[in-house]
Amino acid sequence: MINRDEPDKGEQLQELVILFLKLGTVAFGGPAAHIAMMRHEVVERRRWMDEQEFLDLMGATNLIPGPNSTELAIHIGRVRAGWRGLLVAGVCFILPAALIVLVFAWTYARYGSAPRAQDLLYGIVPVVIAVIVQALWGLLKTAVKGPLTALVGVAALVLYLSGVPEIPLLAGGALVVVLARGVRRKWGAGTGASAPLGVPLGLLAVSATSTGMVPLFLSFLKIGSLLFGSGYVLLAFLRSEFVGPGMLTQRQLVDAVAIGQVTPGPVFTTATFIGYLLEGVPGAIVATVGIFLPAFVFVVLTGPIIPRLRSSPIMSSFLDGVNVVSLALMAGVSWYLGRTAVVDPLTAMLAIVALVLSYRFKINPAWLVLGGGVVGLCFKAVFG
């Protein structure tokens, strides 16, 4: 771990406020892009932690339900400034995105259509691909600890691109590394290992079958407590909770998820949009708190465990397997995103230029993302 020249607690909290308000405002592109930008800020630029510590936190977020990049932000805040930092980092990462989505929801409710964001994303998404690739290169040098983890990572990427879901890949990759290293050690006694990292999910048998603040809160609390996986899994949960009972139309749900994906910050701010449609501003607040509250609880419960995992040979192997599969999933998401983002010479040039500026000149990804958005808007304004 890097030796930190620590400022006082007030300065640490101020640093967290500035960093995560910025990321919550400009972090387009989904969890993989968010993680890449956080790595640049806390590992490369500010040196709050080293690559291994960052990887371990990232791997741990994949083992619990909820929005991975938000949970990583909460973990970073906890490591940097304790429980106050945990709250500050999480809230500051969520708040800008929730406010932006709330403005979109207000516009949607009054004019009957979602504001267009495609021109902005035309220039942003190719840059996001470059940011993720640069982060993957740095993280892979730490995560790949020999032929075994390299093979597990490649296999996980191939299986993910073949349609295998995230959770079986994470569990399977971890198990392969644990078993292979265990055979190599001949399962020596006295490892002191405990059961794999996990937390009770507290299954909530509630559904938003009626209107009102309490059912709305409990419904989103359930989703935040149980949801693993991508935005498409979120779509399935939301459809069951709100379209089935007739509270939303299918079109409204699709628009809500689209807004959550094209705005910066966590895609779970889709809850803000739905809450506003159902119950106005109070509903937006209740839904947002409900879906993100479990992330804070899970980080509080699991945070103290993560450093101790490295002291157990079996659990250290488990975490190494999860880490390398997590990077394979990032690479797979980048591949899918890249196929839809790099569609013409301009987007290809944007991706290449952003990669060079990020890798060679260490330009802050936030500026690259904003620059890509400006280029996209200008190009579409001129050429349509």
Give the type of residue at 104.
Answer: F
384 Cβ partners below 8 Å, 6+ apart? none
pLDDT at residue 72 in the model: 94
Going from the C-alpha of 8 to that of each of 13, 46, 73, the distances in angstroms are 9, 15, 20
**pLDDT digits 0-9 by tens, 306-338:** 877 777 888 888 878 888 888 888 788 778 778
- CA dihedral for 292, 297, 300, 303, sign (positive or negative): negative
Going from the C-alpha of 94 to that of each of 9, 17, 49, 303, 335, the distances in angstroms are 22, 12, 22, 20, 26
Going from the C-alpha of 228 to that of each of 61, 268, 273, 329, 380, the distances in angstroms are 10, 12, 21, 13, 36
User: Are 61 and 306 a contacting pair, CB within 8 Å?
Assistant: no
pLDDT at residue 187 in the model: 53
CA 18 to chain centre: 19
pLDDT at residue 100 in the model: 92
Model's pTM, two decimal places?
0.70
Low-confidence ranges of the chain (pLDDT < 70): 1-7, 112-118, 121, 186-211, 228-233, 235-236, 254, 258, 261, 384
Q: For 199, what's the count of Cα atoms within 13 Å in the CB-facing half-sphere? A: 24
Q: Distance between CA 138 and CA 135 in Å, rounded?
A: 5
Which of 174, 176, 171, 128 lies closest to 330, judged by CA? 128
pLDDT at residue 202 in the model: 40
Which of 88, 72, 87 lies closest to 19, judged by CA? 88
Going from the C-alpha of 275 to that of each of 24, 154, 344, the distances in angstroms are 20, 41, 38
pLDDT at residue 118 in the model: 66
pLDDT at residue 193 in the model: 39
Neighbours of 209 (CB within 10 A): 13
Relative orientation angle of helices 51-61 and 68-111, to the nearest 10 degrees: 60
